[in-house]
Amino acid sequence: MTKDQKNEVIELLKGKFSQYNNFYIADTESLSVEQVGKLRRECFSKQVEMKVAKNTLIKKALESLDAEKYSGVYEALNKVTALMFSENPKEPALIISSFRKANNGEKPVLKAAFINGDVYTGDNQLKALTQIKTKNELIGEVIGLLQSPAKRVLAALLHHHEQKAGGAEATPAAAE
């Protein structure tokens, strides 16, 4: 790989790291070419970009953007590294989990995840990452919580109004 090609890869990676707030670093070393192809197709179908690059180039791209911000992921840059970029913070974790189940294996291994400025290191974090709530899920929950008391108040008012209306009609009928 020439120096120009390396610089091209670094610039491409810098663009991806700038574009996405979430990325996963996975080890795909022992996967067959066919399995890597399946993983790529799964990522593509879920709007997750998967890139494979040399660890030194990944590190140079991260360092040139913000060395301190990304310092927690440098230790994960070893062996074969696949990067998964996504707008949704939990989608790559779901892809890795479902891929493992479908292939009855332990690969790919999660080495690290960078999610909205927080670094999660180690494969033991995968289960927790699959349960992260997305921004839209959190907004939905908050709206649901806010709507719940209002719905109860409206239901109580309607019930009270119906009782009054029912009681007002019953009284004149009894007077006749």
SS3 label, residue 88: coil
How far apart, in whole angstroms, are the C-alpha atoms of residue 28 and residue 105? 12
Task: Classify the C-alpha dihedral 158-159-164-167 as positive or negative.
Answer: positive
The arithmetic mean of pLDDT across residues 137-165, rounded, is: 81
* pTM for this prediction: 0.77
How far apart, in whole angstroms, are the C-alpha atoms of residue 15 and residue 159? 58
Lowest mean pLDDT among 16-20, 27-31, 41-45, 163-167: 163-167
Query: In residues, how long is the chain?
Result: 176
User: Strands, DSSP E only, in the chain?
Assistant: 22-27, 49-52, 81-86, 109-115, 118-121
CA 88 to chain centre: 4
Lowest mean pLDDT among 41-45, 109-113, 133-137: 133-137
How far apart, in whole angstroms, are the C-alpha atoms of residue 12 and residue 54? 13
